[in-house]
Amino acid sequence: MLHIAYIVLAISGGRGDLASYWSFDAIEDDKIVETASGLHATVHGATLKAGALHGGLYFDGADDFLAVDAMPAVQKTIGSLDEGTISAWFRFDHNPGVMDIEPIFYLGAANQYSSFGTTANGYELEIGHFSAQRRLYWTLISTEGENTDIPLCWSTTDHINTSRWYHVVSTVSESEGTHVYLDNVEIFNPSELTWNFGDENMCRFLNDVTVQEVLWFGKGLWDNEEKFYKGVIDEVKIWNRAITSSEVNDEYERVASVGAIQIDEDVADEIIVSQGIELAGTYDNIVELSWRIDDGNVTASDVESLEPTWLLSLSGSEMLPGRHVLNIRGRNAALRSFTDSRVVIQPDLNADGAVNIHDLLMLIGVWGDCSCPEDFSGNGRVDVADVLLLIGAWG
């Protein structure tokens, strides 16, 4: 008995569990490389952008998609799995309306529709459904003759949102049924997860797709036509078994824990503002760059590029008079923050765009102990050092 348990543990803990992995980190000769089973895919129009972990694939919502080339290999590997796990990171940029979907992953018939206008045969991970709008769906559809059957279909109960990243995992096994995780939290209450067909005790996976003609990312069949995804898809993995909640956490952290940001080392610790300032630096795995002065408002912009360097131009009028901390923050797809900062000193005390006698008179007016903008050096006093700093910025 002990012997058998050991063997089971050895098999289930082995690296062979991973049936496929598309990192979407690079496009090579119009291909996305799949590293576990060689299920390489051809890129049709999609482009590389900042993803959840380094590169991700951006689809334009018009006609971009990704198609796995060797369907016999798909059928022999992931297509034959009765149990398994699918994991994906995605950010969708278009809100599907009625009878519209944003298809993330589709295994099924290439061109075969049911009487409802859905695919006649397929497994589809998508946002949207009939009038579902922004709910996330994982649906198995199967048709024999005139009879279309939906053995399994769950969706998020709540709408999810455009323009932010999500991580979804679904694990399926005979013994444990179906489990769904959204952003590393298992969802199972009806307030979170809706079973439209089937229930959580079901075990249906890719081998239940009876017609396996295509494996697409960013494209699916709906409303009697091909539908296309708008947004970024990244880090799609399929395991040949239901992974544990601790492994779901590992997969989430594999992406969520990665990120870095730095202001270039040659930028002085204290920056004297003249007109404005330009800051340069490097970052890694950042999808949003923002700045703020002290605890003030955050100004953020999305990062789409995979360039390792960034540049930020701030006008002098955005810098409050006096001495402040300029905080630079990068966030990754999991909204983890990475920060760096510099002290900035704005000598234009009356904010009229010039440093001159008017600013000097303001400074002299508060001579002595003072916690005020005129204390440029930050030593709690307005004194000669502050005058010299102001004169150095004259003009």
Which residue stretch of 10-18, 55-63, 123-131, 213-221 sits at the interface with Ca ion (rule: CB under 5 A)?
55-63
Min dist. Cβ of residue 357 to Ca ion (A):
9
Q: Which is nearer to Ca ion, 199 or 253 (CB)?
A: 253
φ, ψ at 91 (rounded to 5°): -135, 115
Q: Which of 17, 25, 82, 93 binds Ca ion (CB under 5 A)?
A: 25
User: Interface with Ca ion includes 126 (CB under 5 A)?
Assistant: no
φ, ψ at 266 (rounded to 5°): -80, 0
Min dist. Cβ of residue 149 to Ca ion (A):
35
Show the 3-state SS of the chain.
CHHHHHHHHHHHCCHHHEEEEECCCCCECCEECECCCCCCEEEEECEEEECCCCEEEEEECCCCEEEECCHHHHHHCHHHCCCEEEEEEEEECCCCCCCCCEEEEEEECCCCECCCCCECCEEEEEECCCCCCCCEEEEEEEEECCEEEEEEEEEECCCCCCCCCEEEEEEEECCCEEEEEECCEEECCCCCEEEEECCCCCCCCHHHCCCCCEEEECEEEECCEEEECEEEEEEEEEECCCCCHHHHHHHHHHHHCCCEEEECCCCCCEEECECEEEEEEEEECCCEEEEEECCCCCEEEECCCCCCEEEEEEEHHHCCCEEEEEEEEEECCCCCEEEEEEEEEECCCCCCCCCCHHHHHHHHHCCEECCCCCCCCCCCEECHHHHHHHHHCCC
Which residue stretch of 79-87, 96-104, 262-270, 379-387 sits at the interface with Ca ion (rule: CB under 5 A)?
379-387
User: Interface with Ca ion includes 379 (CB under 5 A)?
Assistant: yes
Which residue stretch of 14-22, 69-77, 302-310, 351-359 sits at the interface with Ca ion (rule: CB under 5 A)?
351-359
Q: Which is nearer to Ca ion, 33 or 293 (CB)?
A: 33
Q: Which of 352, 364, 384, 392 binds Ca ion (CB under 5 A)?
A: 352
Min dist. Cβ of residue 379 to Ca ion (A):
5
> Can you say whether residue 24 is alpha, beta or left, with left for phi > 0 and alpha for psi between -120 and 50 degrees?
left
Q: Which is nearer to Ca ion, 55 or 128 (CB)?
A: 55
Min dist. Cβ of residue 378 to Ca ion (A):
7
Residue 250: C-alpha distances to residues 171, 172, 334 (Å): 14, 18, 14
Min dist. Cβ of residue 161 to Ca ion (A):
21
Q: Which of 43, 53, 203, 232 binds Ca ion (CB under 5 A)?
A: 53
Under 8 Å between Cβ of 350 and 358: yes
Q: Which of 100, 102, 251, 348 binds Ca ion (CB under 5 A)?
A: 348
User: Interface with Ca ion includes 34 (CB under 5 A)?
Assistant: no
Site for Ca ion in 5-24 (CB under 5 A): 23-24
Q: Which is nearer to Ca ion, 335 or 354 (CB)?
A: 354
Binding mask 357-376 for Ca ion (x = CB under 5 A): --x---------------x-
Min dist. Cβ of residue 392 to Ca ion (A):
14
Min dist. Cβ of residue 282 to Ca ion (A):
19
Binding residues for Ca ion, rule CB under 5 A, total 18
User: Interface with Ca ion includes 377 (CB under 5 A)?
Assistant: yes
Which residue stretch of 115-123, 184-192, 297-305, 380-388 sits at the interface with Ca ion (rule: CB under 5 A)?
380-388
Q: Which of 280, 350, 361, 365 binds Ca ion (CB under 5 A)?
A: 350
Which residue stretch of 187-195, 233-241, 273-281, 324-332 sits at the interface with Ca ion (rule: CB under 5 A)?
233-241
User: Interface with Ca ion includes 153 (CB under 5 A)?
Assistant: no
Contacts with Ca ion, residue ranges (CB under 5 A): 23-25, 51, 53-55, 234, 348, 350, 352, 354, 359, 375, 377, 379, 381, 386
